[in-house]
Amino acid sequence: MKIEVIPSILVRTSDKLRSQLKKISKYFEKVQIDIADGKFVGNKTIQAASFKGIKPKIKLEVHLMVKNPEKYINDWKKVGAKSLIFHYEACRNEKKVNEVIGKIKKNKMKIGIALNPRTSAKKIKPFLKKVDTVLLMTVNPGWQGQKFLMSQLKKIRQIRKWNKKIDIEVDGGLKPGTACLAAKAGANKLVAGSFVVRHKSVRKALDELKKDVRCLK
């Protein structure tokens, strides 16, 4: 499968959002916006209202690290998000997971389900045919700059074994070295936050990641 690098933005202010969007937009087709409510994870970031007056020149994928993700769907639809990713752990049961999937689908956005490092891959197996993307956290969610958890490679391999066609995104600690490992395990979408946005040159960061995943050839 073709490997795509997706930058992620995790910020607390509209000014930071503007500056990071400007920094990365010319090099990527899509950006992941990380949204934290201060409850599901300890950190708290911008929300949909922060996009007022901002018209991104890049496709938006929104990663909801929040409780009650269904309450956020309409706001992000209005912003123009093309896909929404919610956490399995934010739902009380399978019924709730299906409810969130249904609401995202009704709003004609792509559907992603995310899994924290401590959650078994088996938990989302029943939903693989209902979503477009599985996002596997390879760090504990909420903050950028953490170390890649090697234990999650097994989970990537397991989900790829179950489903050959689904998009598997990996988020957390992606840089040269870990990008190759994630791709070899079966991930085809690599979400890179701190390595890209904190790099002196976004172009060089992207080139380094692309070079690393050539390990597949």
- Of 34, 32, 36, 35, the residue nearest 6 (C-alpha): 32
**Distance in angstroms (rounded) separating the CA atoms of residues 116 and 129:** 20
| Six-digit token string for 189 | 């979408």
Candidate list 37, 171, 207, 212, residue with the active-site label: 171
Q: N- to C-terminal Cα distance for the chain?
A: 12
Cα dist from 130 to 79, 98, 111, whole Å = 24, 9, 8
Catalytic site includes residue 132:
no
Catalytic site includes residue 167:
no
**Distance in angstroms (rounded) separating the CA atoms of residues 46 and 37:** 9
Candidate list 34, 37, 167, 212, residue with the active-site label: 34
Rg (CA), the chain: 16
- Of 113, 101, 165, the residue nearest 137 (C-alpha): 113
**What contacts 178, CB < 8 A, 6 or more positions away?**
138, 148
User: Catalytic positions, please?
Assistant: 34, 171
